[in-house]
Amino acid sequence: MSKVVLQAAGLKKSFASPNGPLAVLRAVDLVVHAGESVSIRGSSGSGKTTLLQLLGGLETPEAGEVFINHAVQGLVTPRKLLGHGVGFVFQNYQLMPELTALENVVLAAKIIGQSRVEAKARELLQLVGLGDRLRHLPSQLSGGECQRVAIARALINEPAVILADEPTGNLDETTGKEVMKLLLDVVAQRQTALVLVTHSREFAEKAGRRLVLAGGVLSPA
Ligand SMILES: Nc1ncnc2c1ncn2[C@@H]1O[C@H](COP(=O)(O)OP(=O)(O)OP(=O)(O)O)[C@@H](O)[C@H]1O
Ligand SMILES: [Mg+2]
């Protein structure tokens, strides 16, 4: 079996609510191997985004631990966010509006101290089909194109795993299918693991392993 790139054990997370603590994740365990794709479905409010934030170190669990490439994942500072073995793709792209497509991808590498990354960023933008949109601002790109930039950005630091939270949620059906195909193709080509949160049964079924989050635990779909 290939090596483990992400391991979560006993993750627990609650939020304060007017009626007392709201237990969102009760005991989440997950092991993802290099190059593996895993989909997670679950009803709205079941805790999928919360789980990805814990996996990526954007939030800390109340109990349990996350390991990326065997290192314990503490709370991640913005500087470390994009360069610690994890790449993120969000539903709403989260591009910097004042930067071009190329600059958005370059920035993700510069944040972790990489220099001379422009050629690599150009290559990745070509890979996602945007070789002729390098100087466009996000406002000059379509939704599908913005998400392609975000995929290139997620790849630039060669993460072990990409965490994608409803990456096609803002896209029309045809564009969503194209973006999903691209995401699955690039992770397969590069042997990058993928944890894909989606409401779409069709997309979830394209992953190598399918899980459902319900009642605060993950189980096979
Ligand atoms: N910062 C917070 N403070 C209080 N409650 C929160 C907070 N973040 C999330 N929650 C609650 O935790 C639950 C899980 O939220 P989460 O965003 O993880 O759900 P989700 O499965 O991603 O839903 P969706 O499919 O709608 O995106 C929700 O009931 C939400 O209201
Ligand atoms: Mg969500």
Ligand 2 centre to CA of 47 (Å) is: 7
- Please report the atom of ligand 1 found closest to the CA of residue 166: 27
Tokens standing for 178?
Answer: 């194209």
Q: What residue owns the CA closest to ligand 1's atom 27?
A: 44
Query: In terms of Cα–Cα distance, which of 119, 191, 114 is closest to 157?
Result: 114
pLDDT of residue 56 exceeding 60, the answer is yes
pLDDT of residue 208 exceeding 90, the answer is yes
Q: Measured in whole angstroms, how far is the alpha carbon of residue 90 from the centre of its chain? A: 7
pLDDT tier for residue 77 given thresholds of 50, 70 and 90:
low
pLDDT tier for residue 171 given thresholds of 50, 70 and 90:
very high
Mean residue pLDDT across the chain? 94
CB 42 within 8 A of CB 73: no
- Is pTM beyond 0.85? Reply is yes
- Please report the atom of ligand 1 found closest to the CA of residue 16: 4
Distance CA 56, CA 52 (A): 6
pLDDT of residue 71 exceeding 80, the answer is no
Ligand 2 centre to CA of 116 (Å) is: 35
- For a mutational test of ligand 1's pocket, the pick from 13, 26, 50, i.e. the residue with the most ligand atoms closer than 8 A to its C-beta, is 50
Q: What residue owns the CA closest to ligand 1's atom 13?
A: 45
* Half-sphere exposure (Cβ direction) of 38: Cα atoms closer than 13 Å: 24
Q: Which residues line ligand 1 (CB under 6 A)?
A: 15, 24, 42, 44-50
Digit-coded pLDDT (tens) for 118-153: 999 999 999 999 999 999 999 999 999 999 999 999
**210 phi/psi in degrees, rounded to 5:** -120, 130
Q: Identify the bridge partners of residue 219 per DSSP, sorted by sequence position.
A: 212
Cβ-proximal residues to 170 (8 Å cutoff; 6+ apart), any chain = 91, 92, 93, 143, 147
Query: In terms of Cα–Cα distance, which of 220, 185, 190, 191 is closest to 206?
Result: 185
pLDDT tier for residue 155 given thresholds of 50, 70 and 90:
very high
pLDDT of residue 80 exceeding 70, the answer is no
Rounded mean pLDDT, 194-218: 97
Digit-coded pLDDT (tens) for 90-112: 999 999 999 999 999 999 999 88
Cβ-proximal residues to 92 (8 Å cutoff; 6+ apart), any chain = 170
Per domain, the residue ranges of the chain are 4-220
pLDDT at 88: 95
Topology classification of domain 4-220: Rossmann fold (3.40.50)
pLDDT at 111: 87
Distance CA 178, CA 199 (A): 16
- Please report the atom of ligand 1 found closest to the CA of residue 52: 18
CB 56 within 8 A of CB 5: no
Distance CA 125, CA 161 (A): 19
